[in-house]
Amino acid sequence: MLKTTGMNPNELAEGLIWKVKKQEDTATLEKQLAEGINLDSLEVALNNDDRRTAFWINIYNAYFQILRIRDGRTAPAIYREPLLLIAGQRFSLDDIEHGILRRYRWKLSLGFLPNLFASRLIRRLAVGRLDHRIHFALNCGAVSCPPIAFYHHEKLDSQLGLATLSFMESETVADDANGEIFVSRLLLWYLGDFGGFRGIRRLLKDVLKIDAKGMRIRFREYNWEEQLQNWEERVP
């Protein structure tokens, strides 16, 4: 039996991302996450979707910065290779995003198809319900990515709501004269997660109070220029 740290996984993940922001050494927390908890303890602690989602968003955002800045990892390996050790198990960033947080959606299906080959481990740890707002919280180090924020399971709904509003406001442009509305290309890449084009229009109405009925939806080019350490300063 592995020793426990006395801290729950959510606290460890929050501590990790805080140290990443402060550009402090993360080795101790990485070791605690890797060896100080076991898989059963992790599963018990992350006993609802809010806890799971907050934990894995913080882990993803923290480790992307660690892998890119400290370890010099680049795409595609930074996403595909199982470089994270959590609770004695190896994970890739893709495992976290597409397997756990998106409930094992196939990465290249625009969100419409499940990954039938998802491992037993991923199925065991995945959220019960996919929340499309995670796409406004995960940061992959590009200019067009949402900024990095701290997520806490008890505040998760309001925090994801704020992240959604902030991102949609910054990325949406309505051209009423030509009957078009331009949105982030993220909404195309994960179209199924958002409920298709009807879901995008619902999102625009619910979040930005824009009635896009009858308007053509266009997708903006994604700016892949690197922007690391892009932190959200607002606190919900």
Question: What digits encode the pLDDT tens for the residues 78-131?
Answer: 999 999 999 999 999 999 999 999 999 999 999 999 999 999 999 999 999 999
Q: What pLDDT shows up at residue 6?
A: 60
**What confidence tier does 233 reach under pLDDT thresholds 50, 70, 90?**
confident
Q: How many CB atoms lie within 10 A of CB 231?
A: 14
**What confidence tier does 1 reach under pLDDT thresholds 50, 70, 90?**
very low
Pairing of strands 173-175, 89-91: unpaired
**Mean predicted confidence (pLDDT) in 188-214:** 97
Q: Does pLDDT of 164 surpass 60?
A: yes
Tell me the backbone φ, ψ of residue 102, rounded to 5 degrees.
-100, 10
Q: Does pLDDT of 5 surpass 60?
A: no
Q: What pLDDT shows up at residue 4?
A: 40
In 3D space, the residue among 50, 84, 49 whose CA is nearest the CA of residue 67 turns out to be: 84
Name the average pLDDT for the chain: 95
- Residue 182 β-bridge partners: 173, 218
